[in-house]
Amino acid sequence: MGYQILGKRGLSQIMEVLCTVFQVFGVILIATLPWTLNYYLLLKNTTVGPRIYYSMMILLVISGICAFTILIQAKKVLHNINTKSPFTFDTANRIKSISYLCLPIAFAYFIGVFFIPSVFVILVGLTFLFLAACIFIIAELFFQAVKYKQENDLTI
């Protein structure tokens, strides 16, 4: 007995629902970010100067807004997959926009390293730059698949 991955009642449907759940939690987290960050620093028993604190706030807001938008696009891609129409220009464009949305996060963290000197900040920036490139390649593959599908539809 195999588990269905694509379509209704499959893993992609669960992922579509999780996108909505993460969007709700993301809005709550961004809205409460000053208090959440203060609480986090209190739990870690850490005090930071205003320069680092505001740098952290800016990085987290940029990351949160981009992540929220990525979740919107991912949810729409998953919806296309669940409705059995994954190979469309709409899906390819949405995947490409996800790759573009990874870039502001990467650049924000590269700039943030001057204000928050940490290897972690560099690693997050590099990770999102790598993700942007990989997702862009996947978007191009989707564009090629759509073109092949259209050619195939015309020959039948």
Residue span of the structural domain in which 126 resides: 11-155
The reply to whether 6 falls in a domain is no
Residue corresponding to tokens 């919806």? 79
The reply to whether 131 falls in a domain is yes
The reply to whether 93 falls in a domain is yes
Please count the other Cβ atoms lying within 10 Å of the Cβ belonging to residue 8.
11
The reply to whether 3 falls in a domain is no
Helix (H) and strand (E) counts in the chain: 5, 0
Domain count along the chain: 1
Give CA–CA dist 99/120, Å, rounded: 21
Over the stretch 98-155, which tens digit does the pLDDT of each residue have?
999 999 999 999 999 999 988 999 999 999 999 999 999 999 999 999 999 888 887 7
What pLDDT score was predicted for residue 4?
76
